[in-house]
A and B are shown apart, each in its own frame.
Chain A
Amino acid sequence: AQTVTQSQPEMSVQEAETVTLSCTYDTSESDYYLFWYKQPPSRQMILVIRQEAYKQQNATENRFSVNFQKAAKSFSLKISDSQLGDAAMYFCAYSLFGNEKLTFGTGTRLTIIP
């Protein structure tokens, strides 16, 4: 069974600084997708970024980028120029195919310090 581990329950960062959230996963498959979701207090699950396992190039979306290390089964999220609106729970997730069920980690609560 696939598992996703987020070892940082809470993180904080000064506004405008950079922060990295960690995620590791366990799978015996070679083709899969990895995701980072943001959950603000509104509870809405918002997709931040997605990585296909067959792509070696790390995904980037504006201030958000990932460091995908397939051999190490590591998938960290880097947020640059942190903004107050980035404060939220962040969940790492895995799926075997892009549109099938997701396996989530337990989340990291990110606080932005003004």
Chain B
Amino acid sequence: NAGVMQNPRHLVRRRGQEARLRCSPMKGHSHVYWYRQLPEEGLKFMVYLQKENIIDESGMPKERFSAEFPKEGPSILRIQQVVRGDSAAYFCASSLAPGQGSGGYGYTFGSGTRLTVV
């Protein structure tokens, strides 16, 4: 049973380009979460999605960032017109629907995508 798959593992973009980060949740998981980790900091929540629906985007920057989790295919975190401050590791996690499964044990992280903006 494959875990949470994120790709690419490393992504380099020039300032002003677009970055697309992909996340395939664990089989059977219907909820996806995106987190950002700046250098030497903890993970910060960005957005929480279920298929075709954004549940909570309270941590998303107001501009340039968007996320989707379509009915078919992976969840996508999209950053338009990247700037140097977007350089970070972006983690995806997936879980069963809240209230199901075994709480935190059902919450699985991917290995992250390290975005470098040059």
Contact = CB atoms under 8 A, between A and B. Distances in A.
Interface of A: 4, 33, 35, 42-45, 47, 50, 52, 91, 95, 97-107
Interface residues of B, number: 31
B91 A98 contact: no
B14 interface: no
Given A44-B109, A98-B104, A106 B99 contact: no
* Nearest 7 CB-CB pairings of A with B: A98-B103, A104-B42, A45-B109, A99-B98, A50-B104, A99-B95, A101-B45
Majority-rule SS of A interface residues: loop
Contact of B98 (A4, A35, A98): A98
Nearest to B91: A45
Contacts of B93: 45
A93 B58 CA distance: 18
A107 B33 contact: no
A103 to B, nearest CB: 7
A22 to B, nearest CB: 15
